Each structure stands twice: as structure tokens, then as C-alpha cells.
Chain A
């Protein structure tokens, strides 16, 4: 076997091993979060786990717009994101940006001003009396709810991680 071929095989094997390793790491992290029935708050790089029970704090309602432009009003249970951050030791006034990610890697960006706005951004665990579905059948989860948007693109289902950046 040529020396060049050996190098190529070694590089391809290394690539495969790294890919499998990263893939399994991601999957194990996802499974740990699902098992606990929780979401992770990353506050400036520091992770805090919040259970669905802790998120079920208050009732609220509001109007959302779907992809077709149809408006509908729903009753929710959950917590305002601003309050959730404050409860976990972060001053909402210092938040500059928030990225919400779902268990299937969908992400939505929010600005600090949107977070600070009253009755704008919530994390819901119940919608119209029914528990929010988790990504796997039969499990419960959380959903980001952003009121006032022209569509529901930022209403992230299967909410898994909220990354907060602040000063």
C-alpha cells in the first residue's frame, strides 16, 4: 500500500471517529435533557437546568399569528422569560441577546429590548389546558411564545436550550 493511500485512510478514519464522537455527545446531551423534562438556561456560558414544574408558574393569554396569517387567542401556563432570568440570578436589564434552541436544533433570536418588554416573551408548558408536547411521543416539553410577531416563526416548539448573552 502506498504511503499516500495510508495517510488518506488514516485521515478518513479520524474524520469518522470525530463525527461519531460529536454525534453521540450531542445525542447523549439531548437525552439527558429529555429524561429530566427540563430546559437549560445558559447564562453567559453558565448552564442552569430548569424543570418543567418550575416553569409552570402563572396563567397568561395572548394572540398569535400562524404561517397563513390566521390570528388565534390561546390560554397558556408558564413563565415570562424576563421573570425566569431574574429568578435565576440574571438582571434582565443587562441582557443584550437571547437565542432559543429546540431539541431538533431550530433556533430563534431575541433582542434584549424584546425580553424586557412587558408581556412579550414567555416560556409555556401548557396551551389551552393541554401540556405542551415534547419531541418524543408521550413526553411533555416547553414552547417559547413571542407575542406581537407577524408570524409564529419564533414560537420555538420542543424548547431545549435558552442561551442568554448579557453585560
Chain B
């Protein structure tokens, strides 16, 4: 198995923390929207958090790195009381997107805008659907809006990830870079 360098581990840790914090910073803004529609907040902010999981996966291109980052994010969220209504289910809802990112990175070789958009939207939808199934139990059109907001958030997250990806690649040595 390919070993990760200290630089990659530091970048992964950075992405875990930043992903969690950015969600906390963005949430009050997205909650204005979700409060207006009277659906639970969270799905509209998840893309910003997952953008850093995507970048972290590219900084440490080993299968399981995004899953590990998602799992660590969930533990951090539980420890810091950031998990909200999800409680211990946060372990599942934070880890699943990481697993999807890992599987997508394995299946797709190109690292262009469609890749980042597709993976970000897919992982956001999975996270939102799992949160709904485990915690919120939204149904019908409210569930549709919940998923649509997650997809929109995934689009923004994917764009951010693609923009940051190029910069992260520049600071990595050639042997640690992923294919473009």
C-alpha cells in the first residue's frame, strides 16, 4: 500500500478541520434560506464542507483517505457539539460522502470540472438522503427541496474544489500529485 507523507497527512488534517469550520461559518447564511422554506438547515451547507474532503482526497490520493477524513470530521463534530440534530448518526452521514468520493476517485481518472461537480453533487445527495432517512424523515415535496438544495450546495462545493485543486497540486511534489 502506498504510504502517505507527512505533508499529505498535514494537508488531510487541515482539510478535516477547515471542512468542519467552513460549514459552521456558512450555516447561518444558508439557514436564512432553509428557514424561509421551513425545512431543516444543513443540506444547503454540506457542499462547502465536502469540497475540502474532495481537495484532501486529491492531496492524499490513496483509497480510503476521504472516508478517513469524513470519519474524523464526524468524531470532531461529535466532540465539539457540531453534530446538531444528527447526534451519533453524524458518524454515518459524514463518513458516507467520504466513501463516495473515494469510490468515484477510483473509477474516474480525469480531474476536471465535470469530475468535481459530479462527485460533489453525488456525495452531497447521499449525505442529505441518509440524514433524511435517519433523522429528519422529510417526505414528498419537502424531501425534493431538501435534496435539490443539497445538489445546489454540491455544485458550489464542486466549483470551489476545482478552483482550489489546481493550487493544492502546485504545492505538492510531482510524485504526490494526482493525474490531471
Residues of A within 8 A of B (CB): 4-5, 8, 12, 15-16, 18-19, 22-23, 25-27, 30, 99, 101, 103-105, 107, 135
**Are A103 and B141 in contact (CB-based, < 8 A)?**
no
**Are B145 and A8 in contact (CB-based, < 8 A)?**
no
B16 in the interface (beta carbon within 8 A) = no
Q: Tally of A-B residue pairs with Cβ under 8 A?
A: 51
**Are A8 and B38 in contact (CB-based, < 8 A)?**
no
Residues of B within 8 A of A (CB): 36-40, 113-114, 117, 136-139, 141-142, 144-145, 148-149, 151-152, 155
**Are A107 and B144 in contact (CB-based, < 8 A)?**
no
Contact of B148 among A5, A8, A15, A104 (CB under 8 A): A15
**Are A26 and B138 in contact (CB-based, < 8 A)?**
no
5 new A-B contacts, CB < 8 A, other than A16-B152, A104-B39, A105-B138, are: A15-B151, A26-B142, A105-B38, A107-B138, A135-B38
Q: A15-B151, A107-B137 are in contact. Are A22 and B145 (CB under 8 A)?
A: yes
Whole-angstrom CA separation of A19 from B148 in the bound complex: 6
**Are B139 and A22 in contact (CB-based, < 8 A)?**
no
Contact of A103 among B38, B138, B151 (CB under 8 A): B38
Contact of A105 among B40, B151, B155 (CB under 8 A): B40
**Are B145 and A107 in contact (CB-based, < 8 A)?**
no
Contact of B141 among A12, A15, A25, A104 (CB under 8 A): A25
Whole-angstrom CA separation of A30 from B142 in the bound complex: 11
Q: A12-B155, A99-B139, A105-B39 are in contact. Are A22 and B148 (CB under 8 A)?
A: yes
